């Protein structure tokens, strides 16, 4: 019974005696039950509160059961609702019509208590299976855009998302900046301490970058090897340069303990960005990436552990 409390059931029936009977039976079984006197009221309730299980009569005023089923399917495209149609109609054509309207099952009135519970339990099994499948799909989607070592976004996600961010910034004439950073002398870390220690350094570096940006706004991706990209929508060039210096200092003070070794690193940064004055036709992911990569290369050539930046000119 405790398990049933997580399932909210919406009962739609214009007959007050039947409605009360279903409500009492389901509540006694431990379900959270809300009742509606017709299809229109049921649809309004569903729009305000999601119900994973709907038990609806066929013939009701204003909105009948089949129409209610179709409306609920339209209202909840991303979440599955298990719907049982209650009807005194027993013909095959009527049953097929109800199922075609979106119902998952049907129940002939007057309903037997044991049959009702059996059909509700079937619905719960379907909902649990659907949730497991949805969770598996979500996990696959997350894995497909995540770098397995560092847990941040991967190159595929960068290639997909960066052009979208740039187009949005250009369209609304908003500031947009991009940081590309690279761990200095990372090959020496691998050669001196081994690749497992190198992996630990990459993970610590990624955490350092992620901790410094705004959640749900900015994002960090692994561009390749020891190169990382920090994407800063709604951030002007001066703000990006300030963040880059804060990151540079944080990396410089970072201490990585791994494999019995204490490893310290530094990083170099390239910074570029768009402003409201940037020619829209010149802004593209390819051109910004090329610019920020050249700036990072300059920072490396000028001695590393430094920042090189300028606004994108097109």
Q: What is the per-residue pLDDT across 21-56, written as a single tens digit (0 to 9) for each?
A: 899 999 999 999 999 999 999 999 999 999 999 999
| Same-domain status, 170 and 119 | no
Give the pLDDT confidence score for residue 32 in this predicted structure.
93
Q: Where would I find the beta strands (DSSP E) of the chain?
A: 8-12, 32-36, 53-57, 82-87, 105-108, 176-183, 219-224, 227-233, 255-258, 261-264, 267-274, 307-309
Of 143, 175, 200, the residue at which a domain comes to its end is 143
From the list 226, 227, 234, 245, the catalytic residue is 226
Residue 3 has pLDDT above 70, yes or no: no
**pLDDT category, 2, cuts 50, 70, 90?**
very low
| Same-domain status, 191 and 81 | no
Residue 78 has pLDDT above 90, yes or no: no
Give the pLDDT confidence score for residue 194 in this predicted structure.
96
170's tokens? 């250009």
* Cα 86 from Cα 90, distance rounded (Å): 10
**pLDDT category, 1, cuts 50, 70, 90?**
very low
Exposure of 279 by Cβ count < 10 A (0-12 exposed, 13-18 middle, 19+ buried)?
A: exposed
Exposure of 3 by Cβ count < 10 A (0-12 exposed, 13-18 middle, 19+ buried)?
A: exposed
Percent over 70 (pLDDT), the chain: 96
99-108: average pLDDT: 85
| Same-domain status, 203 and 273 | yes
Of 143, 173, 206, the residue at which a domain comes to its end is 143
Give the pLDDT confidence score for residue 51 in this predicted structure.
95
For 254-286, write each residue's pLDDT tens digit. 999 998 999 999 999 999 999 877 777 778 999
Asked whether residue 149 is domain-assigned, the answer is: no
* Cα 234 from Cα 282, distance rounded (Å): 19
* Cα 208 from Cα 202, distance rounded (Å): 10
Give the pLDDT confidence score for residue 139 in this predicted structure.
86
204's tokens? 């610590």
- Residue range(s) defining the domain that contains residue 119: 3-143
Distance of CA 252 to the CA centre of its chain: 33
Asked whether residue 150 is domain-assigned, the answer is: no
**Total tally of structural domains belonging to the chain:** 2
Pick the more confident residue, 173 or 82.
82
Find where tokens 């598996």 sit: 136
Is 286 a residue of the active site?
Answer: no
| Same-domain status, 166 and 280 | yes
């Amino acid at each position: 019974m405790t398990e049933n409390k997580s399932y909210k059931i919406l009962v739609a029936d214009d007959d007050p005696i039947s409605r009360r009977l279903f409500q009492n039976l389901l509540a006694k079984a431990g379900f959270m039950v809300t009742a509606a006197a017709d299809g229109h009221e049921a649809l309004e309730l569903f729009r305000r509160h999601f119900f994973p299980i709907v038990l609806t009569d066929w013939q009701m005023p204003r909105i009948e059961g089949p129409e209610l089923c179709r409306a609920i399917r339209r209202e909840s495209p991303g979440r599955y609702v298990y719907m049982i149609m209650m009807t005194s109609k027993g013909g095959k054509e009527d049953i097929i019509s109800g199922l075609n309207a979106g119902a998952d099952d049907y129940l002939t009135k007057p309903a037997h208590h044991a049959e009702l519970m059996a059909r509700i339990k079937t619905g719960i099994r379907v909902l649990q299976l659907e949730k497991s499948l949805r969770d598996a799909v979500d996990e696959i989607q997350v894995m497909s855009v995540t770098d397995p070592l560092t847990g941040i976004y991967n190159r595929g996600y960068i290639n997909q998302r960066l052009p979208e961010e740039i187009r949005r910034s250009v369209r609304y004439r908003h500031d947009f900046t991009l940081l590309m950073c690279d761990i200095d002398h990372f090959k020496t870390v691998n050669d001196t301490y081994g690749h497992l220690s190198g992996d630990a350094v990459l993970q610590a570096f990624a955490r350092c970058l992620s901790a410094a940006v705004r959640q749900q706004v900015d994002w960090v991706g692994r561009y390749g090897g020891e190169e990382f990209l920090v994407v800063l929508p709604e951030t002007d060039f001066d703000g990006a340069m300030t963040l880059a210096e804060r990151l540079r200092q944080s990396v410089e003070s970072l201490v990585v303990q791994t494999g019995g070794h204490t490893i310290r690193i530094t990083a170099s940064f390239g910074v570029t960005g768009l402003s409201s004055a940037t020619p829209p036709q010149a802004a593209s992911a390819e051109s910004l990436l090329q610019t920020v990569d050249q700036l990072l290369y300059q920072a490396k050539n000028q001695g590393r552990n430094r920042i090189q930046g300028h606004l994108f000119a097109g």
